[in-house]
């Protein structure tokens, strides 16, 4: 299983909900086994002010993740969210947990 985690920060704090709403369109892409969007609660003891919105998804394998990223809706969503976000950090890793 591939776990896909992406962290976003907003250019303007008032855009956090707009970013999350825009990213929910990604849930319509059929290649993930699990998909969710979260708003960072920012309650960690250390600096987490740079993360506002989180995308978390699970994929059966690399091919499913590649198909997700190649889907036209992925690119449309990227174009919609990019102008209102400041940073985007992504990580994909193979989970050993079944």
User: What tens digit of pLDDT does each residue of 16-28 get?
Assistant: 999 999 999 999 9
Domain range list for the chain = 2-94
Q: How far is CA 53 from CA 25, 26, 62, 66, 97, in A?
A: 14, 14, 24, 22, 25
**Residue 91 CB burial class (10 angstroms; 0-12, 13-18, ≥19):** exposed
* 48-59 average pLDDT score: 92
Q: Global pTM?
A: 0.91
Does domain 2-94 match CATH 3.30.70.100?
Answer: yes
């Amino acid at each position: 299983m591939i776990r896909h985690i992406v962290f976003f920060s907003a250019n303007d704090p008032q855009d956090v909900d707009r970013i999350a709403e825009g990213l929910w369109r990604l849930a319509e892409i059929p290649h993930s086994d699990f998909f969710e969007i979260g708003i960072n609660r920012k309650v960690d003891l250390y600096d987490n002010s740079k993360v506002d919105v989180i995308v978390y998804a699970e994929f059966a394998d690399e091919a499913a993740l590649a198909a997700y990223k190649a889907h036209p809706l992925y690119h449309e969503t990227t174009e919609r969210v990019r102008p209102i976000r400041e940073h985007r950090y992504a990580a994909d890793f193979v989970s050993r947990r079944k």
